[in-house]
Amino acid sequence: MKIRLLAGLLTLGLAVAGCGGAKVEDKPSSAAAPSGSQSAAPASGGGTVKIAINPWVGYEASANVVAYLLKKELGYTVELPEIKEQLAWEGFETGDVDVIIENWGHPDLKKQYIDEKKVAQTAGSTGNKGVIGWYIPKWMVDKYPGITDYKNLNKYADLFKTSESGDKGQLLFGDPSYVSNEDALIKNLKLNLKVVTGGSEAALIKGAQQAQEQKKPLLFYFWDPHWLFSKTELARVNLPPYADGCDADPKKVACDYAEMDLDKIVSTKFATSGGKAFDLVKNFTWTNEDQNAVADDMTNNGMSGEDAAKKWVEANTAKWQAWIPK
Amino acid sequence: MSATAVGSPPRVKLPRWAVPAAAAVAFAVGYVVFRGVGTLPHDDEAGTFVALTDAREWVDDNKNANPVFLYFINYIRLFIDGLFQTFETVLHALGWPGLLGVMGGIGWLAGGWRIALLGVAGFASFGVLGVWEHSVDTLALVATAVLLSLLAGLPLGVWVGRSPRLRRAITPVLDYMQIMPTFAYLAPMVLFFQIGAPAGVAATIIYAIPPAIRITALAIEQVSPTAVEASASLGATRWQTLFKVRLPLARSTMTLAINQTIMMALSMVVIANLIAAPGLGSDIIKGLSRENVGIMLPAGLAIVVMAVVLDRTTMAAARQRAHAGLSLLKLAVAAGIAAVGVGLAYALPPEFPSALELQMGGPVNEAVRWAERTWYPVTDALKEFTTRLLLNPLDGVLTTAPWWLIAAAVLAFAFWAAGVRPALTALGCLLAIALLGLWEHSMQTLTMVFVAVTVTLAIGLLLGIAAARSPRFSAVQRPLLDAAQTMPSFVYLLPALALFGATRFTAIFASVIYAVPPVVRLVEEGLRGVPPTVVEAALSAGSTPGQLLRKVQLPMARKSILLAVNQGIVMTLAMVVLGAMVGGGALGYDVVSGFSQRTDFGMGFAAGIAIVLLGIMLDRITQGADRRPSPQKRKPI
C-alpha cells in the first residue's frame, strides 16, 4: 500500500509540474500556483522576501532591522534562512534567497553570478565600512611597545607561540569561508608566524575574550564592525598599507586588507519585481555604530533579533524614515 | 627491511614478544635513518582536487540543461519538498494541544499510559523550553527523512536478508555511507538538490538508511528456518511465506530498525541546518556565532528529549507481543486521546503560552562564564600537557616519516593483529590516501584519532567496569550517557573553546564525549556477560577482585572490548569534521573548507573520502582482531 501511495504521489508530482522537465528554480508551491493562485496574494498586498542570514552577528543585525521594517511598515512576510556566504549566492539562482544584506567583497562570486549568470545585482552600499585585519588584545600594546607595527612582529613572535604552532608564533584564523590572505602575507612579509585554523567565529571570539581576561598573548584574524569591540579592547596590527591593486594576485599579497564598502546584493528577480521591498533594501544604509548597537543587544543583552531591531527602530525614527519608499 | 620483519616466521622458539619488538626496533631505526625523506606534504591545489572542483563547476553550469536534472533529480527534489511541506503544514495545523494529544495517543498504543505520559510531557517540554516552532519543523524534517528511509530501506533490507550475494555487494556501500562525514556530502547535496529542506532530508536519509537496511536484513535472517519450512510444506507461496511468516516473526527486530533510523535522523538535525533546512539546528548555529550557550542549550535539550521520547515509544512498540495486535478498544482510546488534544486546539491559544516558557538563557550563560574564568588555569595546563607530551611528538613522527615506512608499519601491524586480508585492505586504503594527495593531513588526523581513542578507551573501561560492578552507578550513569550521545556536540563546544582554546585538544575533547557512551555500554555488557559460575570459581580459588578483573573478566569480555575499540574509532572519526570547527585542522578542516569555499570543493570532497578510507582501514584492523583467536594464544610455529 505504501508503495502504491509513493507511486501515486510521484505521478501527481509529474503531472503537476507539467512535461517540460523541472528547472532548478521550480518549487512545489509555484508548480501548484495555477490551481491556487488566490492563496498567493496576501491581504497586506506584500509578498515574501527571503533575506539570507550569513554566520556573523553584525550581518544578522542589519538583516533583522530590514526585516522588521519590511514587516511592520510595508506588510511583507520575511523569511530569514541561515546560509553561509557562498551558498547564499547559489540561492539567487534557485530562488531561495532574494537579498544578501551585507556582502564582503567576493569579486569572484560577483563575476560569476552578476556578470555571467545574471541572476543577481548589487543594490548599493550598506554604509558600513568593513575592515579585516590582524588584532591583538589591548593590554599587549601597553606592555610591548611597537607591537602594532608588523615590522616588529618577528621580534615578538615568541610571545605568540603555542603548543599548536610549534616554534613559530601563532596567528589564529577563523571559519574557512572567510576572505583570507594570511598564508601569502606571512610568506611575503617573511614573518615567523604560522596560521592555526580555529575553524569558526566562536573560536576567534573565545580566544580573544580569554586573551584579555587571562592576559594571554594572542594574534588573530578579525574584522570590524563586530560587537566584540564594545566588550573587549582590541588593537589592530598595522600591515603595509593597502594600495590599489596590491591584492590583485592572491599569491603575492603583501599589504593590508582594503577597507571594504560593504554592499547589498539582490537577485535579479527581486530587483525587477520586488516593488517597495526592493526600494527599501536599496535605500537601507547606516553606520558601523548603528550596527554594533543592534548586534550588541542581540549578543550580550539576550534580545532576539526582532526585539533588538524593534528597539533600534523605535529610537531612530528619523534614520529609517528616509529608507521607506514613498 | 620491513618485508623481512613481516615475512619470516621464526623457526626457533622465541619469547612471544620477540617478533613485535624486533619489528618495532626495525621501524624505529628506519625512522631515524629516513626521517624527512619521502614525506608527502600537503598541497592545496593538488591535481585531484582541481579535477573534482572542475567537475562540480560543470554540473553547476549544466543544471538547467541536462536531462538528468530536468527529468529526474529535480523531480526528486520537488517530491521531497512537497512531502516535507505536507508534514510541516499538518503538524503546525494541529497546534500544540493537538500534537500533544496525537503523541499521547501514539504513546498509549505503543506502550500504555506510561509511554503516553512520557510523550505528552516530553513534547510539552519543547514549549516550556521556548522552542516549540523549531521543534515542530525538526519533527517534520525527521518524519520526512524517516518515512522515505523506511520506504526504501525496509524492502531493500528484506531483499538483502534473503540474498547473501546482494548482502556482500551492499555492505561496503553501507559502511561508506556511515563513515563518510556528513559535511563532505553536504556540498554535493546542495549541488544536486539546492539549499533548503530537500537537501537536508536527502543528507539525513543517506545517514539514516544504513541501519534500516542492516537491521531489517538481520531480522529476516534470524527468522527460524523451521517456521519457514513448515509454512512452505503447507503449500504457502513465497510471497505468503514472506508476509505471513517472515515479516511477522521479524517484527520486533524490525521495530528496532525504525528506532535506529529515527535516532540517526535526529543526530543530523544540526548538520542539516547548515544547508538551510529549518528546525532546532538554527538555534544551535545561532548560539555558536553569538557565543551564547543560553540560546543553544534549550534547543539541545529539546533534541535530547525528542530522542528519548521517540526512542522509548518505538522500543515499547517493539517489546509488544506480535499477537497482542491492535484491539478496537485500544484504537478507540488512542483516537480519543488524540481527539481531545485536537479539540483543545480550538479552545486554547494557537501559540504555546509564553507564561509557561522557562527563561534559562541568563543563568546558563552566567554559569558558563564563571566556569570559563575559574577553571581556565587547570584546563589550560591539562591541554598543554597532553599536546606537548602526546600529540606533538606523535604528529611529528607521522608527518616526517617516509610514507612507505608508515605503510609498511601499518601492513605489519595489521597482519600481526588481524591477518592477511585486513592487512592488504589497510595498505590499499593508505595508498589511496596518498594518491588523493592528502597524506599529510591524513597523518595529522590519524594522530588525533589515535589519542582520542586511547583516552576514550581509558575512560570507557573505567566507567564500564564501575558500572558492571555497581548496578546503582550504572543506573545513575545511563541517562547521562544517553544525553552525551544525543546532545548536539555544538552545545558543549563553546565552553570547551573557552577552556581549551582553538586547539586540536578541544577537538579531541569533543570526540571523547561523543565516543565514550557506546564504549562504556559495550564494556559493561561484556563484563556482565561473563558467566557467574566462572566468577564464582575464580573467587573460591582465592582471587582478589583485582585479579578477578584482570585475569578472568577482562580476558573473557575480550570480544566486547574489541568491539568497543572498533565503535570508539568509528565515533571518533565521525567527530573529526566537527572538531575542525574548534581548531582540529587537518582533514576535518579540508572538509569544512570544501563546504564553504567553492574553489575548495575538490579538496573537501577528497578529504571526505580520505576520512572514509582511514575509517575502513582502522575498522578492518580492529574487526579482524575481533574475529581472530587471541594473538597471545597463538603459538609460534
Q: How far is the C-alpha of B229 from the C-alpha of B236, rounded, in Å?
A: 10
Q: What is the DSSP letter of A151?
A: G
How confident is the model over B327-338, as pLDDT tens digits?
A: 777 777 777 777
Chain A partners of B581 at a C-beta cutoff of 8 Å?
A: 175, 199-200, 202-203
**What percent of chain B stands above pLDDT 70?**
93
The distance of B28 to chain A (nearest Cα, Å) reads: 23
Longest dimension (CA), chain A: 78
Contact B48, B601 (CB under 8 A): no
In chain A, the N- to C-terminal Cα span, in Å, equals 57
Q: Are strands A219-224 and A120-137 parallel, antiparallel or unpaired?
A: antiparallel
How confident is the model over B255-284, as pLDDT tens digits?
A: 878 888 888 888 887 788 877 778 888 888
Mean pLDDT of chain A: 81
Please name every residue paired with A172 in a beta bridge, in sequence order, or none if there are none: A196, A220
Q: Are strands A169-173 and A219-224 parallel, antiparallel or unpaired?
A: parallel
DSSP for B507-520?
HHHHHHHHHHHHHH
Residue whose C-alpha cell reads 550581518 in the numeric block = A59
Grid cell listed for B411: 601492513
Residue A15: pLDDT band (50, 70, 90) is: very low
CA B400 to chain centre: 32
Q: Is the pLDDT of residue A35 over 50?
A: no
Domain positions in chain A are: 44-128+261-321, 130-260
Residue whose C-alpha cell reads 519608499 in the numeric block = A325
The distance of A322 to chain B (nearest Cα, Å) reads: 30
Chain B partners of A20 at a C-beta cutoff of 8 Å?
A: 70
Grid cell listed for A6: 509513493
The distance of B630 to chain A (nearest Cα, Å) reads: 39
Return the higher-pLDDT residue of B591 and B8: B591
- The yes-or-no answer to whether A44-128+261-321 and A130-260 have a common fold is yes
A69 touches chain B (CB under 8 A): no
Rounded mean pLDDT, B575-582: 81
Q: Do the chains contact at A24 and B69, CB–CB below 8 Å?
A: yes
Count of CB atoms situated within 10 Å of the CB of A161:
17
Contact B559, B526 (CB under 8 A): yes
Q: Is the pLDDT of residue A45 over 50?
A: no
Q: Do the chains contact at B195 and A28, CB–CB below 8 Å?
A: no
Question: A97 Cβ partners below 8 Å, 6+ apart?
Answer: A50, A51, A52, A81, A83, A88, A89, A91, A267
Distances (CA, A) of B574 to A197, A323, B617: 19, 48, 15
B70 closest CB neighbour out of A21, A91, A199: A21
Q: How far is the C-alpha of B556 from the C-alpha of B237, rounded, in Å?
A: 45
Domain A130-260 grouped into CATH 2.60.40.10: no
Rounded mean pLDDT, A257-272: 89
Q: How far is the C-alpha of A58 from the C-alpha of A34, rounded, in Å?
A: 40
Instruction: Give the best residue of B53, B191, B285, B497 to mutate against chain A (max A CB count within 10 A).
Output: B497
How confident is the model over A223-252, as pLDDT tens digits?
A: 888 888 878 888 889 888 888 888 788 788
Q: Do the chains contact at A163 and B383, CB–CB below 8 Å?
A: yes
Count of CB atoms situated within 10 Å of the CB of B7:
9
A18 touches chain B (CB under 8 A): no
Q: Is the pLDDT of residue A44 over 60?
A: no
Q: How far is the C-alpha of B86 from the C-alpha of B461, rounded, in Å?
A: 47
Provide the pLDDT for residue B146: 92
In degrees and rounded to multiples of 5, residue B206 shows phi and psi of -55, -40
Contact B580, B588 (CB under 8 A): yes
Chain A partners of B286 at a C-beta cutoff of 8 Å?
A: 60, 82
How confident is the model over B432-475, as pLDDT tens digits?
A: 998 888 888 899 899 999 899 999 999 999 998 888 888 888 88
Q: How far is the C-alpha of B143 from the C-alpha of B89, rounded, in Å?
A: 13
Q: Do the chains contact at A202 and B285, CB–CB below 8 Å?
A: no
A56 closest CB neighbour out of B289, B384, B599: B289
Provide the pLDDT for residue B605: 85
Chain A partners of B387 at a C-beta cutoff of 8 Å?
A: 163-164
The distance of A326 to chain B (nearest Cα, Å) reads: 34
B75 closest CB neighbour out of A17, A60, A176: A17
Rounded mean pLDDT, B181-210: 82
* Chain A, chain B: beta-carbon pairs less than 8 Å apart: 190
Q: Is the pLDDT of residue B485 over 80?
A: no
In degrees and rounded to multiples of 5, residue A224 shows phi and psi of -120, 135
DSSP for A79-148?
E--BB-HHHHHHHHHHTS-SEEEEE---HHHIIIIIIIS--EEEEEEEEEEEEEEEEEEHHHHHHSTTTT
How would you class B351 by CB atoms within 10 Å of its CB: exposed for 0-12, middle for 13-18, buried for 19 or more? exposed
Q: How far is the C-alpha of A191 from the C-alpha of B468, rounded, in Å?
A: 56
Provide the pLDDT for residue B322: 52
Residue A100: pLDDT band (50, 70, 90) is: very high
Grid cell listed for A125: 552600499
Contact B204, B265 (CB under 8 A): yes
A21 touches chain B (CB under 8 A): yes
- Which residues in A213-227 are b (16+ Cβ under 10 Å) and which e? eeebbbbbbbbbbbb
A176 closest CB neighbour out of B497, B503, B592: B592
Contact A79, A49 (CB under 8 A): yes
Provide the pLDDT for residue A219: 92
Please name every residue paired with A222 in a beta bridge, in sequence order, or none if there are none: A133
Contact B96, B127 (CB under 8 A): yes
Q: Residue B307: name the closest of B520, B510, B106, B482 by CA.
A: B482
A72 touches chain B (CB under 8 A): no
A86 closest CB neighbour out of B289, B383, B598: B598
A206 touches chain B (CB under 8 A): yes
Grid cell listed for A322: 528616509
Q: How far is the C-alpha of B607 from the C-alpha of A84, rounded, in Å?
A: 20
Grid cell listed for B376: 581556565
Provide the pLDDT for residue B633: 44
CATH of A44-128+261-321, one of 3.90.79.10, 1.10.238.10, 1.10.357.10, 3.40.190.10: 3.40.190.10
Q: How far is the C-alpha of A228 from the C-alpha of A29, rounded, in Å?
A: 41
CA B77 to chain centre: 26
A15 touches chain B (CB under 8 A): no
Contact B62, B192 (CB under 8 A): no
Chain B partners of A81 at a C-beta cutoff of 8 Å?
A: 195-196, 276, 278
Q: What angle do CA B297, B301, B302 make, to 5 degrees?
A: 115
Q: Do the chains contact at A9 and B273, CB–CB below 8 Å?
A: no
Grid cell listed for B236: 504457502
A182 touches chain B (CB under 8 A): no
User: Which chain B residue is nearest to residue A14, measuring alpha carbons?
Assistant: B75
Question: Which of A3-7, B57-61, B540-544 ranks highest by mean pLDDT?
Answer: B540-544
B190 closest CB neighbour out of A29, A87, A197: A87
Contact B175, B228 (CB under 8 A): no
The distance of A210 to chain B (nearest Cα, Å) reads: 7
Using CB atoms and an 8 Å cut-off, which of residues 79-98 of chain A contact chain B?
Answer: 81-87, 90-91, 94, 96
Contact B507, B528 (CB under 8 A): no
Grid cell listed for A241: 598599507
User: Which chain A residue is nearest to residue B148, measuring alpha carbons?
Assistant: A6
Q: Is the pLDDT of residue B631 over 60?
A: no
A13 closest CB neighbour out of B78, B273, B291: B78
The distance of A299 to chain B (nearest Cα, Å) reads: 6
Q: Do the chains contact at B290 and A23, CB–CB below 8 Å?
A: no
A24 closest CB neighbour out of B63, B155, B498: B63
Distances (CA, A) of B577 to A202, B182, B489, B590: 16, 9, 12, 9
Q: Is the pLDDT of residue B67 over 60?
A: yes
Q: Do the chains contact at B592 and A199, CB–CB below 8 Å?
A: yes
Which range, of A27-31, A61-65, B101-105, B292-296, averages the lowest pLDDT? A27-31
SS3 A235: strand
Rounded mean pLDDT, B539-553: 83
Rounded mean pLDDT, A103-121: 86
Question: B457 Cβ partners below 8 Å, 6+ apart?
Answer: B519, B564, B565, B568
A7 touches chain B (CB under 8 A): no
Q: Do the chains contact at A196 and B583, CB–CB below 8 Å?
A: yes
Residue whose C-alpha cell reads 501511495 in the numeric block = A5
Q: Do the chains contact at A210 and B372, CB–CB below 8 Å?
A: yes
Question: A225 Cβ partners below 8 Å, 6+ apart?
Answer: A58, A128, A129, A130, A288, A291, A292, A295
The distance of A124 to chain B (nearest Cα, Å) reads: 24
Question: A196 Cβ partners below 8 Å, 6+ apart?
Answer: A162, A164, A165, A170, A171, A172, A173, B502, B503, B583, B585
Q: How far is the C-alpha of B307 from the C-alpha of B487, rounded, in Å?
A: 9
Contact A45, A56 (CB under 8 A): no
User: Which chain B residue is nearest to residue A305, measuring alpha carbons?
Assistant: B286
Question: A130 Cβ partners below 8 Å, 6+ apart?
Answer: A102, A104, A223, A224, A225, A259, A260, A261, A262
How confident is the model over B71-121, as pLDDT tens digits?
A: 777 888 888 888 888 888 888 888 888 888 888 888 888 878 888 888 889
Grid cell listed for B279: 528546525
How confident is the model over B300-337, as pLDDT tens digits?
A: 889 888 988 888 888 888 777 555 556 777 777 777 77
The distance of A273 to chain B (nearest Cα, Å) reads: 22
B589 closest CB neighbour out of A84, A197, A299: A197
Q: Are strands A120-137 and A260-267 parallel, antiparallel or unpaired?
A: antiparallel
Q: Residue A128: name the closest of A64, A223, A202 by CA.
A: A223
The distance of B287 to chain A (nearest Cα, Å) reads: 9
Q: Can the peptide bond before residue B393 be classed as cis, meaning omega within 30 degrees of 0?
A: no
ipTM over 0.85: no
Q: How far is the C-alpha of A151 from the C-alpha of A132, rounded, in Å?
A: 19
Instruction: Give the best residue of B53, B63, B79, B275 to mutate against chain A (max A CB count within 10 A).
Output: B79
Q: How far is the C-alpha of B579 from the C-alpha of B573, rounded, in Å?
A: 10
How confident is the model over B597-620, as pLDDT tens digits?
A: 777 888 888 888 888 888 888 888
List of domains in chain B: 45-358 (1.10.3720.10), 381-627 (1.10.3720.10)
